Amino acid sequence: MKRIIYGLLTTLLIGLFSVDASAAIAVGAKRIDHFSNVSSATTTGITTAASGSTFVVAVSFDHTTHIVTGISDSKSNTYTLAGTAGDFGSVYYCSNCTGGASHTVTITFDGAEFPIVHFLEITGAATSSYDSAVTAKAEDSASPFTVTSGTTSQAAELLVSFIASNSGSNPVSYSESSGFTIQQQDGDGSNYCTSALAPRIVSSTGTFTPSYTGSGITGSTNIVIGIKEASGGGGATASPSAASLVLTGATPTITTSGNKLATPSTASLALTGATPSLTVQNYTWYTLPAPGSYDSNSILAGQTYPTGSWLRVVTDWAHITSVYSTGPLQNDINDYSTAESGYTGSDTATYEIKTPALSTSQYTVTATISNNINIGPSTASLSLTGATPTVTVTNNKLVTPSTASLALTGATPTIAAGQNVLVQPTTAALALVGATPSMLINGVPTGVNYSFIRRVERSLIRSVSRSVGR
């Protein structure tokens, strides 16, 4: 049997690989609370991402009287001081942290304070998100109140600007004019050191200067920090920075959104910097005989194809077992197929023909299974002694069908289906295991006094002889 394994070279590589299109860096959940005359301030709970986020905590209070002695949250994260400047504020961060429901942060002081606490979540950030090169701190006593960052380490970052001031106005309304968007502010200058928190997402490296104005401000603390976006954030591209794609032997078609589609036919594919997922379907193909040189009851009956074509099984029979190979394909299906024991009715199989030009077509064959009946009793076995039986199997019958004929050499038996077996052989003996047969010997049932019959027979013969003699 000649088999052709085919399919690898013509497999369509759909969704061969996908770049991890991490979400672009963005502001997540946020909260701002103010507290009066407390040494420990805990924010109201918010729901943050379960993992991976960066959290920024900014606190405005009077540095001239007290200091921060501790910072913690309800998810057991650890915070690091990013910067403290002047008399009015500090900023802390936590990278790649745990989040969840009822997420709070607690600031403790060495004495009673009137703090304002900003709690900001940043999603889509790198695992090690803090860009220390960006951090800048300054005090400013003239409007606009500014600080210039250091140069960002990568193109995609989220900058967080924090301003805290000594304005006695109520309310103080902060404004920012250089592209930062104020997310939170508390302008109650009568009771607190007012403050505002404003992020800005940048897409190219450089230095950046947040610029604020506000009524009644004579002095301010200004801090800016940088949070790096995760690699691959902002969506998939055809040539991702972390992976390169090389196709040899063909020109692929590559789309620039979502998963990539490569259709290189016989090309080889090399992917660097990412792990591809490749699924290959291998089929067994059989070489077809010359066109037209097949039996009219073959599975090829009625099919036309050029010389050198192949055939594969798409869906095999449900109740028929066929042994496929180059030879049997051209023969009567009864010559290489066996039906399921006791099954009668129709069965179908679907095949596909592929030409030397690699065009394909499928067709379905229907077979009818009949005269496929078991003889009862099903557990009986039959052995013949003294003669060699000839069993004729026609139209896919079982070896012991109810309507089959059984021929014995040297004797002519009579077998009735579903009944005890009558045997009228001359010299053959019959043994039946698993059923009780009725036997006739020279037409006389077993159990009759055979010697008596012989005596009567001899008596009749003598009587006839005497009659003739007279």
369: closest CA among 391, 349, 389, 390? 349
Select, from the ranges 321-325, 372-376, 378-382, the one with the highest average predicted confidence (pLDDT).
321-325
Q: What percent of the chain has pLDDT over 70?
A: 63
Q: Compute the residue count for the chain.
A: 470
pLDDT higher than 50, residue 375: no
How many Å apart are CA 264 and CA 13, to the nearest integer?
8
Tens of pLDDT, residues 12-23: 232 333 333 357
- Tokens 């190219």 found at: 204
Strand-strand pairing, 406-408 and 360-369 = unpaired
Average pLDDT over residues 236-241: 39
> Rounded to two decimals, what is the model's pTM?
0.48
CA–CA distance from 253 to each of 14, 80, 186 (Å)? 11, 48, 54
Q: Is 122 exposed, middle or buried (0-12, 13-18, 19+ CB in 10 A)?
A: buried
Show Cβ contacts of residue 138 under 8 Å, excluding neighbours closer than 6 positions: 85, 146, 147, 222
Domain 283-369 has CATH 2.40.10: no
Tens of pLDDT, residues 169-208: 888 889 999 999 999 999 888 888 899 999 999 999 999 9
DSSP 82: E
Average pLDDT over residues 275-293: 76
Average pLDDT over residues 36-43: 96
Strand-strand pairing, 184-186 and 38-42 = unpaired
Average pLDDT, the chain: 75
DSSP E strand stretches across 152-241: 157-165, 175-176, 184-186, 195-202, 211-213, 220-229
Residues of the chain with CATH 2.60.40: 283-369
Contact of 122 with 41, CB cutoff 8 Å = no
Lowest mean pLDDT among 1-5, 143-147, 343-347, 412-416: 1-5
CB atoms within 10 A of CB 92: 21
How many Å apart are CA 134 and CA 6, to the nearest integer?
58
Is 347 or 393 the better-scoring residue by pLDDT?
Answer: 347
Is 88 or 412 the better-scoring residue by pLDDT?
Answer: 88
